[in-house]
Amino acid sequence: MNPADIRRSYSSGALDRSELDSNPVNQFQMWFAHAADAKSGPAWRRISIAIFKLWHAVLGHPSADVNAMVLATADKNGKPSARTVLLKGVDERGFIFFTNYDSRKGQELAENPNAALTFYWPDLERQVCVAGTVSKLPATECESYFKSRPRGSRLSAWASNQRDVVADRASLQKKWDEMAAKFPGDVPLPPNWGGYVLKPDRIEFWQGRLNRLHDRFCYSRQADNTWKLERLSP
């Protein structure tokens, strides 16, 4: 199939300036709630979302993780990289995620704390783009989250040295088994694993519309920490 032949019309909703919260983090939380709960919104939207999900289920397409986000980073020379990670929290500080500090993203964030996030919720034809600076979370907060993870995931944090080349799947499983034997009870927080928070300087909300005349609104953080809201051309 030719990618250029794949087309769709965006018609499930609209976005008006009067609907937007003065604080973009609050606005994000509302949109996230909508994405996580298809019961929100008017009846026609719930029906269209239900049909969309049913059709994908019939085709065997699983629903995307609602908290999945593309994280874009760059090294000290400006060479970019991107990958999908999971949002684990959002509050007045910003957007929170966890990873191995020795991973490529961890090393790039150590060299260059500027990063960007993109959320895409196809059911609602919505996208949120976030840009700002990233810093590490306190160790106590990292440990608290780590303890909430399933045991298998905690063992994997010890077994997997992100970025390292592995010979095969068997060697990776062997390392995991060794960690399971090493930590038969509680699995402690690895010293090279923890969380980050991205403090946003810009948050853009995109709502798909007919004829590609999409609604786009951008919040920009001002020097006094207030937000400037502007409509952008699609």
Q: What is the pLDDT of residues 24-77, one digit of tens each?
A: 999 999 999 999 985 444 554 555 555 555 554 555 454 568 999 999 999 999
Residue 181 lies in a domain: no
How far apart CA 73 and CA 88 sit, in angstroms, is 18
How far apart CA 206 and CA 184 sit, in angstroms, is 48
Residue 214 lies in a domain: yes
Which amino acid is it at 138?
P
Kind and range of the H or E run holding 213? none
User: Would you say the pTM of this structure is higher than 0.75?
Assistant: yes
Residue 4 lies in a domain: no
Contacts 24+ apart (CB under 8 A), 47-53: 48/12, 49/12, 49/123, 49/124, 52/122, 52/123, 53/123
Would you state the structure tokens that stand for residue 182, as one six-digit string?
């090493």
Span of 36-50, 59-73, 137-151, 207-221 with lowest mean pLDDT: 36-50
pLDDT of residue 7: 83
Residue 27 lies in a domain: yes
pLDDT of residue 62: 46
Task: Give the structural domain span for 101.
Answer: 10-138+194-232
Kind and range of the H or E run holding 2? none
Give me the phi and psi of 10, to 5 degrees please: -100, 115
pLDDT in tens, 155-204: 999 999 888 899 999 999 999 999 999 999 999 999 999 999 999 999 99
pLDDT in tens, 82-128: 999 999 999 999 999 999 999 999 999 999 999 999 999 999 999 99
Q: Quick check: is 8 catalytic? A: no
- Tell me: pLDDT of 9 over 70: yes
Q: Which residues are bridge partners to 83 per DSSP?
A: 71
Residue 69 lies in a domain: yes
For residue 175, give the 3-state DSSP assignment.
helix
φ/ψ region of 47 (left if φ > 0, alpha if ψ in -120 to 50, else beta) reads: alpha
pLDDT of residue 64: 66
pLDDT of residue 43: 52
pLDDT of residue 198: 98
Q: Which residues are bridge partners to 31 per DSSP?
A: none
Cα radius of gyration rounded to whole Å, the chain: 20
User: Which CATH number belongs to the domain containing residue 124 in this structure?
Assistant: 2.30.110.10
Give percent of the chain above pLDDT 90: 81
pLDDT of residue 163: 83
How many domains are contained in the chain?
1
Residue 157 lies in a domain: no
Catalytic residue among 104, 212, 216, 221: 212
Residue 92 lies in a domain: yes
